[in-house]
Chain A
Amino acid sequence: MSQSIPSPGWNETETNALIDAHLGQEGPMLPILHALQAAFGYISEPAMRLVAQRLNVTRAEVYGVASFYHDFRLAPQGRHQMKICRAEACQSMGGETQARAFLAALGLEWGGTTPDGRLTVEPVYCLGLCACAPSAMLDGEPHARMDLEGLKALAAEAV
C-alpha cells in the first residue's frame, strides 16, 4: 500500500505533527500511539508505517507494540466506547451477570459494536472503583454503583 492512498483514520500531515510533538520524550512510542488513537479513533496501517519510519524502528516492532496492548485498536470501532468492569470486586456485586444481560439486550458479545456503529462494548479489568461496584466507563468517564438500568441509560446517552 502506498502512503499516498488516503485511508480512514489516517492523515499524513496530522500524524507527522503528532509524532513531532512527542519526539523529545524518552521512549516516545506509547505516547505517540495514544495520541494517534485519540486523534483518529484507531491506529491504521499507514500510520504505523510512518511511526516506524520516524522512530527508525521496523514496522514489525510498531505492530508488535500496538497489538500487544489491550487499549490500542487496529481497526475502526464504534463512535462511543463503553468499558464494563469484569474483575473480582465487580463480580462480587453481581457485575458479571448484569453485564451479560446488558450485552444480550444489545445483541452483542464482548468487544462487539452495535450495527449502527454507535457503541462498542469492551471488558475492562478494574477501574479502581472497587468499593462502589459494579462500575463502567463511557468514553473515559467513570460510573459507579451501576445496575442494569444504569448501563442501559448510559448506552442510550451515547448517540
Chain B
Amino acid sequence: MDINFFAEVLIGGLLSGVMYALVAIGFVLIYKASGVFNFAQGAMVFFAALTCVGFMDKFGLSLWLAIPATVLAMIILGLAIERVVLRPLVNQPEITLFMATIGLAFFIEGLAQLLWGSQVHKLDIPIEDVPSEYLMDKFNIIVSKFDLIAAAICGVMVAVLALMFAKTKVGRALRAVADDHQAAQAVGIPLQRIWGILWAVAGMVALVAGLLWGARNGVQFALTFIALKALPVLILGGFTSVPGAIVGGLIIGASEKLAEVYIGPHVGGGIEGWFPYVLALLFLLVRPEGLFGEKIIRRI
C-alpha cells in the first residue's frame, strides 16, 4: 500500500470535509437558536455566490467591493425571511417550519436566477487551485493550496463565530434564545429581532461557503446540492453543535474519499453518493443524537 497515496486521499478528504462543514455550520446556527431545520441553506449559498458574481459582472465591481454589497443583500434577505416566513409560523411544529423552508428554497432559487440569469459563472478569488509545491517537494504528496487556505478561512470563521457567541451582547442573546425561547423572552430579549439577526448571520456564513464553493466548482445551480452533502455531516456531529459540524465534516470527508478509493473499485464504484449517509446512519444507531448533539430526553 502506497503510504503517500493514502496520505493524499486522507488529507484531501479531511479538507473536503472542512468545506462540507462550512455549509453545515449555517444549518447548525439556525437550528440551534430557532429549532428550524433550514432546508433553504443550500439555496442561500447559491444566492450569495450568484449575487456576488452578479455584482462583479453586471456592475463591474471588484471582488472586495462586491463582497460587502453581497453581505448587505444577505442581511436584507435574512431579515425579510424572518419577517415574512417565520413570524407567521412561530409556534408551529418542526415539520411545518421545515416545509416552509423548502418552499423558501424554491423561491430563492427562482429569484436568484430571475435577477442574475441562468448562466454559469466563474468566480475568481486570488487563491490558486493548484498543488502546493512545498508539500509536493517535501513529502511527495499533492494537496491543493486552495483547500488549505479554505480550511484556514473556515477555522477563522468558526473562531469569529465562537468569539461572537461568547463575548458580544448579541451572541449572549443568541445563546439564551437557543437554550429556551420563553425564558429568553422573560428576561426581555426581543425574540423577533434576534431571529432576524440570526438569519442574517446564517446568510453571511452562506456567503463565505458560497464564495469558496463557487471558486472551487464554478457558480452554478448545482451549488444548491452542496446542502445535501452537509446533511450527513450534521447527522454525525449533531444538529446543534458547531464543533460537531467540524468534527463531523472531517470524519465524513475522510471516510467518503477513503471508501471510494479503497472499497469502491470492488463494488463497482460510485459509492460516494450513499456512503456518508450509511456511515452517519450507523453512527446514529450507537448515538442517536449525533456525536455532540444535545441528548434528547424523552419523558412521558
Is this pair of chains taken from one and the same complex? no
Name B's A-contacting residues (CB within 8 A): none
